[in-house]
Structure 1
Amino acid sequence: MSHRMKYWSRVPAFFQAQLKLTQAAKKGLGDDVLAELVVLRASQLNKCAFCIDMHVTNLREAGVEQRRIDLLPAWEEAGDLYSERERAALAFTEAVTVLTEGFVPDAVYERAAAQFDEAELAHLLAVIVAINNWNRVNVTVRQPPGAEL
């Protein structure tokens, strides 16, 4: 597959707004590792090689155990490798990203709401929305892993 266009340089104001959106979303979550796990999982679901590469690197640099990174696609089967808070966030991420049933199921929302206060949950949703936006653009333009935006 070849890179289709250098999208982000063509829309610099949008790129800057997207960066600010992402920073604002993550700021209110207060847990950088959790945010990185969430954005990595969404990127895996969306098959965004550029973002997967970036967020795996970020998790490694944050000192996250490689096993937790490797098993993220199978987080539900990984036992206690992920905390209940992380599992709730990952379930919420998958529901919001895929919308398999056309909506986010009540049970998934309630599981996340039991682990996050309302402000944190709002920021978690904002992080998921922001990464999905990055993914959709990068997948569409076939942004190569490691390439400069």
Structure 2
Amino acid sequence: MTEQRMTFRTAAPQVHRAMLALDAAAKQGLDPVLAELVQIRAAQINRCAYCIGYHTRDARKAGETEQRIFQLTAWEESRLYTERERAALALTDAVTLLPHGVSDQVYAEASRHFEEPELARLIALILTANAWNRINVTCRTAPDDH
């Protein structure tokens, strides 16, 4: 286990508050379970243990099942997710792995399931999830073990 480098919220409180505000604005109107799935998925890709733990707990509180959380790493092969969730997860993968780009097919499928304002918030949520992951991985924020 590695030692935490800094506590970001105390080192950059204005940036931390701005990130919280952006995160809250992005979630407005999105299904809370879908939002947690998206954030867990981004954290899995980015290998952010802190965010995986944080959003897994929040997903359970929002009513998500253990089985769906466990299968999230292989969501493409799983039958547990709706078409809408699959579109959001595909967009999450594409935006998180940006060097591969967001294909027209992935974007079209997402826009088929989400009206433009909701799609914009989903993209913003993916953006904030990735930003939090990068902050926490860089700072080596320790996951809560309880």
TM-score band by shorter chain is over 0.9
Unaligned runs of 5+ in 1: none
Using the TM superposition, give the Cα deviation of residue 131 of structure 1 relative to its aligned residue in structure 2, in angstroms: 0.7
In structure 1, how many angstroms separate the alpha carbons of the residues matched to 2:98 and 2:22?
22
Between stretches 3-12 and 48-57, larger displacement belongs to 3-12
Quick one: distance in 2 between partners of 1:111 and 1:8?
36
**Equivalent in the alignment of 1:3:** 4
In the alignment, what sits opposite 1:126? 124
What's the offset of the Cα at 1:100? 4.0
TM-score (norm 2): 0.95
Task: Please give the secondary structure, in 1, of the residue aligned with 2:76.
Answer: helix
Whether the 8 Å CA contact 1:28–1:119 is kept in 2: the answer is: no
Structure 2, unmatched stretches of 5+, are none
Percent identity (aligned): 51
CA distance in 2 between partners of 1:43 and 1:24 (Å):
19
Partners of 1:60 and 1:49 in 2: how far apart?
A: 17
**Which position in structure 2 is the counterpart of 1:94?**
93
Could you list the per-position Cα deviations for residues 93-133 of structure 1 after superposition, in whole angstroms to 9, with x for gaps in the alignment?
000001242x2111100110111010110000000001111
Equivalent position of 1:106 in the other structure: 104
User: Which residue number in structure 2 is paired with residue 22 of structure 1?
Assistant: 23
Letter in 2 for 1:4: R
Task: Quote the RMSD (CA, aligned, Å).
Answer: 1.1
Paired position in structure 2 for 1:82:
81
Structure 1 stretches of 4+ with a deviation exceeding 6 A read: none
